[in-house]
A and B are shown apart, each in its own frame.
Chain A
Amino acid sequence: MISEFQLTVVHSIGNSARMSTEAKRRPRTARQVLQNAVGVVDRLVAPHGVDRYLELVRPTWSTTDVRAKVVAVDRSTPGSVTLTLRPNGNWGGFTAGQHSQLTVEIGGVRQTRCYSMANSAQGGDGTIELTVRAHPGGVVSSYLNAESRPGLVVGLSRAQGEFTLPKVGWPGRPDRLLLVSGGSGITPVMSMLRTLCDQGSTVPITFLHYALTEDSMIYRQELEALAAGHGNIRLVRVFTDAPGTGDLDGFLTAAQLDAADPDWASTRTAAFVCGPAPLMDAARALYAGTERPENLRTEAFTLAQFAAEAGATGSLRLRTTGSVVENDGGTILAQAEAQGLSPLTGCRMGICHTCTRNLCSGVVRDAVTGDLTAGSEGLDTEVRICVSVPVGDVEIDL
Chain B
Amino acid sequence: MTTTTAAPPKASRPTKAGKAVTPVKGQTMAQAYGLSEAQLEELGQSFDAIRARITAELGEEDVEYIRRVIRWQRGCEVAGRASLFLGWLPPFWLLGATALSVSKILDNMEIGHNIMHGQYDWTRDPTLSAHGFEWDTACPGDQWRHSHNYLHHTFTNIVGKDRDLGYGILRMTEQEPWTPKALINPVAAAILAAIFQYGVMLHDVEFEKVLSGEKSREDARATLRAGLKKSGKQGLKDYVLWPALTGPSFLPAVAAGATANLVRNLWAFMIIFCGHFPAGVHDFTVEESEGESKGHWYFRQILGSANIDGGKLFHIMSGNLSFQIEHHAFPDIPARRYQQVAGEVKALCERFGLPYNSRGLTRQFGSVIGKITRLALPSKPASVTAEPTGDPTPTTKTTKTTKTDRSTKVAA
Chain A residues in contact with chain B, CB under 8 A?
Answer: 40, 43-44, 46-48, 52-53, 56, 105, 107-112, 346-347, 349, 351-354, 356, 369, 380, 382
Contacts and interface: CB of A to CB of B under 8 A. Distances in A.
Q: 4 closest Cβ contacts across the A-B interface? A: A353-B118, A346-B150, A108-B63, A47-B134
Given A351-B154, A380-B126, 9 more contacts: A47-B136, A53-B78, A56-B74, A109-B123, A347-B154, A352-B118, A352-B332, A356-B130, A382-B129
A103 B62 CA distance: 19
Given A347-B154, A353-B118, A353-B130, A52 B332 contact: no
Nearest to B111: A48
Interface string B54-72: 0100111111100000110
Nearest to A107: B59
B191 interface: no
B328 to A, nearest CB: 10
A346 B154 contact: yes
Interface stretch (B180-188, B232-240, B400-408): B232-240
B363 interface: no
A44 B78 contact: no
B52 interface: yes
B337 to A, nearest CB: 13
Contact of B153 (A44, A105, A109, A352): A352
Contact of A356 (B70, B131, B237): B131
A353 B63 CA distance: 19
Contacts of B78: 53
Contacts of B241: 40, 43-44
A347 B233 contact: no
B71 A56 contact: yes
24 contacts: A40-B241, A44-B241, A44-B245, A48-B74, A52-B70, A52-B127, A107-B60, A108-B61, A108-B63, A108-B64, A109-B122, A109-B123, A110-B125, A346-B146, A346-B154, A347-B150, A349-B154, A349-B294, A353-B117, A353-B118, A353-B121, A369-B52, A380-B124, A382-B121
Interface of B: 52, 55, 58-64, 70-71, 74, 78, 117-118, 121-127, 129-131, 134-136, 145-146, 149-150, 153-154, 230, 233-234, 236-237, 241-242, 245, 294, 331-332
B74 A347 contact: no
Contacts of B52: 369
Contacts of A356: 118, 121, 130-131
Of the listed residues A46, A346, A347, A352, the one surrounded by the most CB atoms of chain B closer than 10 A to its CB is A352
Contacts of A43: 233, 236-237, 241
Contact of B242 (A44, A53, A354, A382): A44
Nearest to B238: A46
